[in-house]
Amino acid sequence: MRRLVAFTQVSLDGCFAGRNGDIGWAHRNDAEWNEFVAGNAAAGGELVFGRTTYEMMASVWPTAAARASAPVVAEQMNSLPKIVFSRTLERAAWQNTRLIKGDLAAEVRKLKSEPGDAMAILGSGSIVSQLAGEGLIDEFQIVVYPLVLGAGRRLFEGLAKTLDLRLTQTRAFGNGNVLLCYEPAA
């Protein structure tokens, strides 16, 4: 069975997006952080997005500016296979992307049962919350940024049940970011 990993960045107060959906706060570039991001991108697998994150990523990574500023990450983001879940998107033009319009949980169950590499949800807080509630995420990689937004969209918003998780790894970065990795405890 394929693993599904969720990689999400949040503020100290648990927001994955600030007021009006802003994620401009989620950038703290330095050599150590950039090396981690490039290594994470090179891990491969299939990338999974919700519509909002997909549209944002598709507007950045295929550009010359992205290839110049983060060539390793841009190469991986553009070449890896991608899935976007959306009921409203008409087509997915970013290379190597397939659009799935069906029931999110049912489609992910189907994808997990197929042979293939692991899948990684990048950002996409709404689908992380929905899939977490269905018990479909095998690992949560949450990067906590050292800032408080005070308002915004919170990770796990709308979750109807308690998630019992087990900490598997931590890493603190010099820029103040902290990576917390969890797996379901059961």
Half-sphere exposure of 168 (CA within 13 A, CB side): 11
Q: Which pair of structure tokens corresponds to residue 43?
A: 């891990």
pLDDT band at 78 (very low <50, low <70, confident <90, very high): very high
Q: Which pair of structure tokens corresponds to residue 51?
A: 């519509």
**pLDDT, tens digit (0-9, with 9 covering 90-100), for 139-166:** 999 999 999 999 999 999 888 889 999 9
Residues 98-121, mean pLDDT to the nearest whole number: 93
Sign of CA dihedral 120, 122, 128, 131: negative
Spatial neighbors of 87 by CB under 8 A, at least 6 apart, are: 101
For residue 140, give the CATH number of its domain.
3.40.430.10
| Average pLDDT over all residues of the chain | 90
Q: Residue 184 in contact with residue 166, Cβ under 8 Å?
A: yes
| Domain extent at residue 179 | 4-184
- How far out from the chain centre does Cα 183 lie? 15
Number of domains into which the chain is organized: 1
pTM tops 0.85, yes or no:
yes
Q: Check pLDDT > 90 for residue 124.
A: no
Residues 62-80, mean pLDDT to the nearest whole number: 90
Q: Check pLDDT > 90 for residue 21.
A: no
Q: Which of 37, 13, 43 is nearest to 25 (CA)?
A: 13
Give the model's pLDDT for residue 72. Answer: 83
